Chain A
Amino acid sequence: MTDISEAFTNAFQLIISADKNLVEIILLSLKVNLIAIFISCVIGLSIGALLAVYKFKGRTLCLITLSALMGLPPVVVGLIVYIFLSNSGPLGILGLLYTPTAMIIAQSILITPIIAALTRQTLEVMHNEYYEQLKSLGVSKLAMAKTLLWDGRYQLITVVLAGFGRALAEVGAVMIVGGNINHLTRIMTTAIALETSKGNLSLALGLGIILIILSFIVNGLVYAINLTAERQAYA
């Protein structure tokens, strides 16, 4: 049994000395999640803005589906992506299983509905306020969606950061499709799970501390952005 205080001391040592292994895992985590969040933003913000503006038949069904997708169990998404990417799967020839790309795909599938649903919610409130005025000015529906995206930018940054936070903390799906391979697809959360089960608490704790710090930074940013936006009356 490792002494807990020893584990903490070792963890801080790993962080302070910028342990190569640790840094590699952190950088891969950031890379996978930043790319995933970028993809999710491009798709999610567009879908959210269009759903806020366009009223069409079947829209309610879309909104319900989107809400349901928000709560997708990560392991199930992992499983589905696995099936698609595995050798016998329809996308097997791409050879993407157990690569960072597979992890990015899984993360994007998990995060996109969250971004889209929250964007729709945020922008619909604004749309209700803007609609008559914009129609009066002669703004087309598509241009309305663009206007909402720009005018909702501060609130949407919060939405995006919430998605990023969720992605950083995710473990189930990336574990399944990434395989948690050392130096290749091992990211913070999967490493923590593995190292803990191996009893290597120092590395697990070190990564855990970094993860919590990142979470603090993300939430701090959310708070700071909200504050400035309010001060500027742009929120």
Chain B
Amino acid sequence: MLKTKQKPPRVSQNLFPLKVEKLAYEANGKKLINNLNFQLEADGITALMGPNGAGKSLTLRLLHNLIEKTSGTISWNNETNQELIQNSQAMVFQKPVLLRRSVIENLRYNLHVKKITGKAQQSELIEEALTRAGLSKHANNPARLLSGGEQQKLAMARALMTKPSILFLDEPTASLDPNATIVIEDLIKAANKQGTKIILVTHDIGQAKRLAEEVLFLTAGQVSEQGPAKEMIANPKSKPAKQYFSGKIVTEK
């Protein structure tokens, strides 16, 4: 799909390749990420996979500047100032964090933070987001009274409303039912088609097959394997990935 010649212009283009070199992260004297090295291109959806404790969520947070690395470099097309990059990134968490406000105010808040204050532009973006999430009829309801699936749709719409170059997803469907999962996956695919690079943490092998072009497999804070999703899932080369995809429990090392 992404190999065709008529690709839409990618807004994420100028931030890639993403190069991560010797990245390390320590907390309370424990090395949680240890000498992480990989490179990602602007195309497609990349799934971060691996057993619990592999450092997937931490890697996402390091890339999104939510936590500070202990050492190493993260360079977005040679730009290493993470704060500059953060504005063009967005993230959706496993459990959506919505403000204690109405649906529409949750959306407006994001625009306010991004200093998009023009009334007309605000209405247009909010309208678009509500339609995208299918929440138009709930616009004035308290966001936290929505169902789990609707809350996650709202979180997705909020993240996407400012057309970020990169969207980080930390197990966005882990606590959703199959129907809601399909809706969220459709939103992810649509966003990617519109040019947003997706970096997704998931434990759902089916989801990785459905969505991802590429898998980055982590074990114990290091990359075990990186490659095209379908090939890796069908025929993993590294030992941890083999064990993981065959359903065997992988221990820390």
Contact = CB atoms under 8 A, between A and B. Distances in A.
Given A232-B142, A233-B144, A138 B100 contact: no
Given A130-B97, A151-B100, A137 B142 contact: no
Contacts of A143: 113
A234 B113 contact: no
Contacts of A101: none
A129 interface: yes
A151 to B, nearest CB: 4
Given A133-B93, A138-B86, A151-B101, A234 B110 contact: no
Interface string B138-158: 000010110000000000000
Given A137-B113, A143-B113, A233 B93 contact: no
A135 interface: yes
Interface in A191-235: 232-235
Contacts of B99: 130, 147, 151
A132 interface: yes
B3 interface: no
Interface residues of B, number: 21
Interface in B27-73: 61, 64-66
Contact of A138 (B61, B114, B142): B114
Contacts, number: 46
B145 A233 contact: yes
Contact of B66 (A135, A147, A234): A135
Contacts of B66: 132, 135-136
B91 interface: yes
Measured as residues with beta carbon below 8 angstroms from the partner, the interface class of chain A is 10 to 19
Given A130-B97, A132-B93, A133-B93, A234 B142 contact: yes
Nearest to A130: B97
Contacts of A152: 100
Contacts of A234: 100-101, 142, 144
Given A132-B91, A137-B114, 7 more contacts: A129-B97, A132-B97, A133-B97, A136-B64, A137-B90, A137-B113, A233-B144
Interface of A: 129-130, 132-133, 135-139, 143, 147, 151-152, 232-235
Interface of B: 61, 64-66, 86-87, 89-91, 93, 97, 99-101, 109-110, 113-114, 142, 144-145
Enumerate the 9 nearest inter-chain pairs by beta-carbon distance, A residue then B residue, closest first: A133-B97, A233-B144, A234-B100, A151-B100, A136-B91, A233-B145, A233-B142, A137-B113, A232-B142
10 contacts: A132-B93, A136-B90, A137-B90, A137-B109, A137-B114, A143-B113, A147-B109, A151-B99, A232-B145, A234-B144
